[in-house]
């Protein structure tokens, strides 16, 4: 199944019609709000009343955005990486010698994973309901406001750089999908560890070559545009 992480999804929903600038501000606000307590290290801190209320508000805010976006339930599969990273983080925090079951580390890791899930889902909803052009225009509005106080900012054009970086994320996953499908269609299945390693190396080589080509094409397009 193709991974469409942070890729724009064309639709006519309330979230799609909302101004891009408001959505970006909302995304930054939810991310800062969710992680405002930092990485808590004890069970008592995680289960503090204020922390539970804060995470509940953040979670239901994202659920509300999910409803406004009319996002399909299968889009949640794109966020599997959150739980994979959360598992390794939790396991690393629980790693002690000599080994003993660290309840505080377990609860702390689960707390971080839940916060990460809230922010990742929020980002997924915002970016799948906002086109690349809308993101660029919204960032340029912020850039122009800052440029009133700091004029050199407009010459640096950070809005273009940030928008390109954001829009490069779905391009990475789309490229990997194409390379992976092409590899499966054109190459014979190789069994064993050596065969799997060879296939993985071939796919990664093609993947990075395609990304470098796309990055160079984008760079040349920007250079040509700056000469106009």
Tokens at 135, concatenated: 């993101």
Those residues whose C-beta lies under 8 Å from the C-beta of residue 20, and which sit 6 or more positions away, are 130, 134, 135, 137, 138
* pLDDT tens digit sequence for 4-44: 677 888 899 999 999 999 999 999 999 999 999 888 888 88
Share of the chain above pLDDT 90, in %: 35
pLDDT for 7: 82
Cα 70–Cα 76–Cα 78 angle in degrees, nearest 5: 120
Question: Can you tell me the mean pLDDT for 119-135?
Answer: 92
CA distance 101 to 133: 50
Cα separation, 160 vs 154, in Å, equals 10
pLDDT score of 1 more than 50 = no
3-state helix, strand, coil in the chain (%, to 5): 80, 0, 20
The structure tokens 């995304």 sit at 27
Distance of CA 98 to the CA centre of its chain: 36
Instruction: Retrieve residue 42's tokens.
Output: 């004890």
Q: State the residue for tokens 């440029």.
A: 147
| pLDDT higher than threshold 90 for residue 124 | yes
Average pLDDT, the chain: 84
Q: Is the pTM of this model over 0.85?
A: no
Output b/e per residue, 71-92; b: 16+ Cβ within 10 A. Answer: beeebeebbeebeeebeebbee
Tens-place pLDDT, residues 38-91 = 888 888 898 999 999 999 999 999 999 999 999 998 888 888 889 999 999 898
State residue 189's pLDDT score.
56
Q: What is the pLDDT of residues 203-221, one digit of tens each?
A: 888 888 887 887 777 767 7
Give the up-direction half-sphere exposure of residue 37: CA atoms within 13 A in the CB hemisphere.
Answer: 22
Tens digits of residue pLDDT in 156-173:
888 888 888 777 777 777
């Amino acid at each position: 199944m193709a991974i469409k992480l942070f890729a724009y999804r064309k639709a006519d929903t309330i979230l799609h019609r909302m101004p891009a600038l408001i959505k970006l501000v909302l995304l930054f606000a939810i991310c800062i709000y969710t992680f405002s307590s930092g990485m808590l290290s004890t069970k008592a801190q995680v289960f503090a009343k204020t922390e539970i209320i804060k995470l509940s508000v953040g979670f239901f805010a994202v659920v509300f955005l999910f409803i406004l976006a009319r996002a399909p339930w299968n889009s949640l599969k794109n966020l599997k990486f959150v739980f994979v990273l959360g598992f390794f983080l939790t396991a690393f925090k629980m790693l002690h010698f000599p080994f003993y079951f660290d309840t505080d580390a377990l609860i702390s890791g689960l707390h971080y994973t839940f916060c990460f899930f809230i922010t990742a889902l929020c980002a997924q909803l915002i970016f799948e309901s906002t086109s690349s052009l809308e993101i660029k225009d919204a960032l340029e509005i912020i850039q122009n406001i800052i440029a009133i106080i700091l004029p050199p900012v407009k010459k640096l054009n950070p809005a273009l750089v940030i928008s390109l970086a954001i829009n490069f994320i779905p391009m990475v996953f789309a490229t990997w999908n194409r390379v992976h499908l092409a590899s499966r269609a054109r190459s014979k299945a190789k069994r064993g560890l050596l065969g799997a390693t060879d296939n993985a190396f071939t796919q990664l080589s093609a993947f990075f070559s395609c990304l470098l080509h796309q990055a160079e094409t984008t760079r040349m397009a920007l250079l040509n545009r700056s000469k106009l």
